[in-house]
Amino acid sequence: MNDQIPIKRALVSVFDKTGLEDLVRGLAEAGVELVSTGGSASLIEGLGLPVTKVEDLTGFPECLDGRVKTLHPRVHAGILADRRLDDHVAQLADLGVEPFDLVVVNLYPFAATVAAGGTVEEIIEKIDIGGPSMVRAAAKNHPSVAIITDGADYGRALEAARNGGFTYEERKALAAKAFVHTATYDVGVASWMGSVLVDSSEGTGFPAWIGGTYDKAAVLRYGENPHQNAALYLNGFGPAGLAQAEQLHGKEMSYNNYVDTDAARRAANDFAEPAVAIIKHANPCGIAVGEDIAEAHRRAHECDPVSAFGGVIAANRPVTVEMAKQVADVFTEVIVAPGYEDGAVEILQGKKNIRILVATTVGGSPVETRPISGGLLMQTVDHVDAEGDDVESWTLATGEPADAATLADLAFAWKACRSAKSNAILLAKDGGSVGIGMGQVNRVDSCKLAVERANSLVEGEERARGSVAASDAFFPFEDGPQILIEAGVKAIVQPGGSVRDELTVELCKQHGVTMYFTGTRHFFH
Ligand SMILES: NC(=O)c1ncn([C@@H]2O[C@H](COP(=O)(O)O)[C@@H](O)[C@H]2O)c1NC=O
């Protein structure tokens, strides 16, 4: 069955006139009658092409600074008549209204005006009213009309005009796309209205409604497990991040690669100095800072070379040739960095499967969400420069004030500890982790794990001895610190705040171990 509808008459009303010239020339050549609004009509006229101005069609002038142009029954009856129905066709004839076969519209740039810091008046004036009405009308009436909202589809429109029109399937697909266009637009308007124009959060910072729009970027091979299906979607609004990273080499990113790479970037980007985090299952198996990025990588890798096998590496500086050579020796799933020195990518590419990503953005949304069954949790993001993260604000709970080198290690351990899942205990020496205990359901086990990991790398080498320890939350009892002290940890930093703090403090005092309280907790679940 031929369900094409020949394109004889088109309504054109676009704010962004990119590509319009070629489109209207092509449509005119294909014998399409053009009807158009103010600026669009002027452009068409300027090309010497025949065009009917909407105001000549409606007999009503465009008015109120363009607020009313196409909002007229002569326009909307021409878009909305269902031409499968004899009655609609007869009514159009009675009313003397010609139907449209094609509607081409793009909307006022609302989001761009907000992003450019427009005034409230300017932003409100960019809320398109007539445009979405036409888009929605044409999309609803896709059995009779084709709707184009994306310049990328102009070529298809020309092809259709030359070849008997769009098919029903094509019109349906264009209609679905058009409703995404208006829905995305309205999410932008509603979000701005509810957060900037009025404070629907009533001072809490959490608006009464949140809307999100995401565009599918890829269907992934599978999800967290092979029997799960998965896809990647990109933010319609908001800052770019890992999802927009450029992949320079390697196999397709998997679901778990994305999760681990996000965790790796979060960890490495916590530091101002060159830093590398190596992640497995969203937890660090090594994290370190260094004079340069290659040194940071060496130190991070040394923490737990066994676990680093098959890990995800994030660097907060461009990867140098020296670092690339080091990484090339280890089986690595993903490496992500803000850039790569000349020659570094070529070295990394020596491994066929390593995924090499460039992600330049740091930071992101000030809030994060987590779906739960039936809803969504939203919180402000945890950040390492929270009050209490600066050593200047720490309280010496017991022991001698740490010397500069020890204090630097404590500061490193405190930041690095935040990247491990709670309960987290991180032992550090000379700006690198040496043992990490994470994800345990009690803090004693995390202490045991951190010490065991530190001391099991080389037979007889006790890396825990002389290290410093950080705990992401307070010690509820002195049993955890007891393990650390027995292992030779010389200083501990923790939030403090337990009702039994004095037991932990007393224990450290007895053993001459320095302990600082930060007053800030960094749980990570
Ligand atoms: N009010 C109306 O009747 C109306 N009809 C069409 N528009 C918009 O006017 C713009 C095109 O205007 P022009 O062709 O004058 O440059 C399009 O973005 C279209 O969405 C309108 N503008 C805003 O609502």
CATH of the domain at 255: 3.40.140.20
Q: What share of the chain is helix, strand, coil (3-state, %, to 5)?
A: 40, 20, 40
160-175 per-position pLDDT tens digit: 999 999 999 999 999 9
- Nearest CA to 484 out of 474, 476, 492, 493 is that of 492
Which residue's CA is the closest to the ligand 1 atom numbered 19?
131
- Nearest atom in ligand 1 to 129's CA: 24
CA distance 27 to 347: 52
Do 44 and 163 reside in the same domain of the chain?
yes
User: Measured from the CB, is residue 69 less than 6 Å from ligand 1?
Assistant: yes
Q: Are 245 and 353 in contact (CB under 8 A)?
A: no
Spatial strand order of the sheet with 311-315 comes to 246-249, 355-358, 332-337, 311-315, 275-280, 283-289, 432-437, 425-429, 468-471, 491-494, 514-517, 395-398
Res 363: pLDDT = 76
Please compute the mean of the pLDDT values over residues 100-121 and round it to a whole number: 96
Residue type, 371: P
Structural domain that includes position 434: 389-517
ipTM over 0.90: yes
User: Measured from the CB, is residue 109 less than 6 Å from ligand 1?
Assistant: no
Distance 196 CA to ligand 1 centre (A): 25
How many helices (H) and strands (E) would you count in the chain?
A: 19, 21
422-431 per-position pLDDT tens digit: 999 999 999 9
Residue 87 falls inside a structural domain: yes
Sorting pLDDT into bands at 50, 70 and 90, what band is 326? very high
CA distance 169 to 2: 11
362-395 per-position pLDDT tens digit: 878 889 999 999 999 999 999 877 777 789 999 9
Write out the two tokens for 232.
């990647």
447-471 per-position pLDDT tens digit: 999 999 999 988 889 999 999 999 9
Do 15 and 68 reside in the same domain of the chain?
yes
CA distance 467 to 429: 5
pLDDT of 1 above 80 = no
User: Measured from the CB, is residue 284 less than 6 Å from ligand 1?
Assistant: no
Distance 178 CA to ligand 1 centre (A): 16
Res 478: pLDDT = 94
Rounded to two decimals, the pTM is 0.90
Residue 379 falls inside a structural domain: no
pLDDT of 444 above 80 = yes
Distance 320 CA to ligand 1 centre (A): 52
Q: Are 179 and 105 in contact (CB under 8 A)?
A: no
Do 399 and 270 reside in the same domain of the chain?
no
Task: Pick the last residue of a domain from 166, 195, 224.
Answer: 195
Which residue's CA is the closest to the ligand 1 atom numbered 5?
130
Q: Around 76, how many Cα atoms within 13 Å sit in the side-chain half-sphere?
A: 14
Query: Strands 275-280 and 491-494, how do they pair?
Result: unpaired
User: Measured from the CB, is residue 132 less than 6 Å from ligand 1?
Assistant: no
Res 239: pLDDT = 84
274-315 per-position pLDDT tens digit: 999 999 999 999 999 999 999 999 999 999 999 999 999 999
Do 352 and 423 reside in the same domain of the chain?
no
Distance 108 CA to ligand 1 centre (A): 7
Domain tally, the chain: 3
**CA-CA distances (angstroms) from residue 65 to 14, 62, 239?**
16, 8, 33
The residues carrying an active-site annotation are 140, 281
Write out the two tokens for 447.
């202490």
Do 25 and 136 reside in the same domain of the chain?
yes
pLDDT of 32 above 80 = yes
Q: Which of 24, 107, 108 has most ligand 1 atoms within 8 Å of CB, for mutation?
A: 108
User: Measured from the CB, is residue 397 less than 6 Å from ligand 1?
Assistant: no
Do 89 and 184 reside in the same domain of the chain?
yes
Distance 36 CA to ligand 1 centre (A): 10
Res 193: pLDDT = 95
Res 361: pLDDT = 84
Helix ranges (H only) for 309-462 are 321-328, 344-348, 404-417, 443-455
Res 231: pLDDT = 98
Do 48 and 190 reside in the same domain of the chain?
yes
Do 435 and 338 reside in the same domain of the chain?
no
User: Measured from the CB, is residue 40 less than 6 Å from ligand 1?
Assistant: yes
Residue 206 falls inside a structural domain: no
Res 2: pLDDT = 82
- What percent of the chain lies above the pLDDT cut of 70? 100
Residue 234 falls inside a structural domain: no
Do 394 and 297 reside in the same domain of the chain?
no
Is residue 18 packed enough to be buried (19+ CB in 10 Å), middle (13-18) or exposed (0-12)?
Answer: exposed
User: Measured from the CB, is residue 128 less than 6 Å from ligand 1?
Assistant: yes
Res 120: pLDDT = 96
174-223 per-position pLDDT tens digit: 999 999 999 999 999 999 999 999 999 999 999 999 999 999 999 999 99
Please compute the mean of the pLDDT values over residues 258-262 and round it to a whole number: 97
Task: Pick the last residue of a domain from 318, 342, 358.
Answer: 358
**CA-CA distances (angstroms) from residue 131 to 8, 103, 107, 114, 307?**
21, 10, 6, 19, 56
Distance 96 CA to ligand 1 centre (A): 24
Do 256 and 184 reside in the same domain of the chain?
no
User: Measured from the CB, is residue 107 less than 6 Å from ligand 1?
Assistant: yes
CA distance 293 to 67: 56
Residue 378 falls inside a structural domain: no
Residue-wise DSSP of 467-487 = -EEEESS--SSSHHHHHHHHT
Place of tokens 């916590």: 270
What residues have CB less than 8 Å from 271, skipping those under 6 apart?
Answer: 289, 316, 415
